[in-house]
Homo-oligomer: A and B are copies of this chain.
Amino acid sequence: MTDFPPIPKDDTVLVLSHMQNDFIHKDGKGARIAHDQMYGTGTMDRIKALVAACRAAGIPIIYHNETFRPGHPELRETRGGYVRGTGRVLGLASDQMAIRGTWGAAILDDVAMDPTRDEFAIDNGKVDPFTCTEFEVLLRNLNRNIIMIAGLACNFGVEMAARSGNERDYGICVVSDCVDRFLGDYTERTLTDLLPLYGRVETSDVLIRELESQ
Contact = CB atoms under 8 A, between A and B. Distances in A.
Interface in A1-40: 2-5, 8, 11
A210 to B, nearest CB: 12
Interface in A126-152: 126-128, 131-138, 140-143, 145-146
A91 interface: no
Task: Give the contact-size bracket for chain A.
Answer: 35 or more
A125 interface: yes
B132 A70 contact: no
Copies in the complex: 4
Interface string A53-93: 00000000000000001100111101111111110010000
A142 B73 CA distance: 8
Interface in A102-140: 115, 118, 120, 123-128, 131-138, 140
A173 to B, nearest CB: 6
Contact of A199 (B84, B143, B170): B84
Given A125-B134, A186-B194, A197-B89, A4 B81 contact: yes
A99 B55 CA distance: 25
Contacts of A124: 134
A121 to B, nearest CB: 8
Contact of A167 (B69, B132, B145, B183): B132
Contact of A82 (B78, B85, B131, B173): B173
Contacts of A198: 84-85
A169 B78 contact: yes
Given A128-B163, A140-B78, A172 B69 contact: no
Contacts of A167: 85, 126-128, 131-132, 160
The 4 closest A-B pairs by CB, nearest first: A82-B171, A79-B171, A140-B169, A76-B141
